[in-house]
Structure 1
């Protein structure tokens, strides 16, 4: 699904939200490596990113041609800031009403409302498609993200203790959150 380009202003910053283009594949691969190196709150370490520009092009094409999932990029004052996406939890009838959300931003673009803006736009699309609930996972200790999700109506529905093990031997939980969209 293509997200039609939209422009916003947050404070003094000019925001552009839109779908990815295949010519941005290498930008997205580099971004994944950078953003995974900035924080412990994403799925993996930077050195574990093995995507290629070619595989990312396929991913972009799949998202843009999909009828039930989407990838949205954010640009702040013309610079790439991060992205968010959704896809169905599953294809079976019993799970087709559930959308899984992911979001990540460069750290320098957090804390001024960009994540909220992106998620509000994403949730609007999810609801428009008829999904009944949106789900996401936040890593324990990521208090700012947890509070953002709560403020958008997500509720904690479970935890997996020690789901993330770091190179220094410490652990963090996965916290599952859900937002009901039609109730």
Structure 2
């Protein structure tokens, strides 16, 4: 699905949140690779599960055509600096919910870009009858957990010793959800 683009100014930085389009595919491929190398908060190490421009074009096409999916990008001065996706299931028993994922370049942390992406995703979900948004977050990503809680998410469970990071230690994954009755 598509949303109307929205503009925000946070801490003096203007950013736009809009739906991804096919022309974003090259930037998205490069961006995802860079972000994966900047943080261990995500599931992948740099280069793992690489998606090339053609792969992103297919994802964007699928998400545009599917009323249960949305792919958003955050743009600063014409440059994509972050993205998020909500992906729903085609199964009837799960038709009320979507799973949310997000990534923002480290140099743009602290400018509310993640919050803007999440708020736009929530607004889209609410407007389209989606009752639940779920996500997984690394237990040490306390800023993200606080943001999710502020926006109505609650902890639903913990996957213990779910990830091994570069320090060789095991970390838990927190499962969070936001449900609208």
TM-score range, shorter chain: over 0.9
2:112, 2:17 → 1: CA distance? 13
Matched, 1:97 2:106: no
Three-state SS of the structure 2 residue aligned to 1:48 is coil
Point out where structure 1 has 5 or more consecutive residues left out of the alignment: none
Point out where structure 2 has 5 or more consecutive residues left out of the alignment: none
Q: Deviations over 1:74-119 (max 9, x none)?
A: 012433210111011x322221111111111011111232211221
State the match for 1:61 in structure 2: 61
1:172, 1:148 → 2: CA distance? 20
1:30, 1:49 → 2: CA distance? 13
Greater displacement, 124-133 / 50-59? 50-59
State the match for 1:84 in structure 2: 84
Three-state SS of the structure 1 residue aligned to 2:94 is coil
Q: 1:63 Cα deviation (Å)?
A: 1.1
1:53, 1:3 → 2: CA distance? 22
Greater displacement, 164-173 / 118-127? 164-173
State the match for 1:133 in structure 2: 132
Whether the aligned pair in 2 keeps the contact of 1:33 and 1:49 (CA below 8 Å) is: no
Three-state SS of the structure 2 residue aligned to 1:49 is coil
Alignment coverage as a number of residue pairs: 181
State the match for 1:20 in structure 2: 20
Q: 1:121 Cα deviation (Å)?
A: 1.1
Task: Report 1:11-50 matches (<5 A).
Answer: 11-50=11-50
State the match for 2:72 in structure 1: 72
Q: 1:178 Cα deviation (Å)?
A: 0.8
CA RMSD of aligned residues (A): 1.4
> Once superposed, which parts of structure 1, at least 4 consecutive aligned residues long, lie more than 6 Å away?
none
Greater displacement, 156-165 / 75-84? 75-84
The TM-score with structure 2 as length reference comes to: 0.94
Whether the aligned pair in 1 keeps the contact of 2:82 and 2:113 (CA below 8 Å) is: no
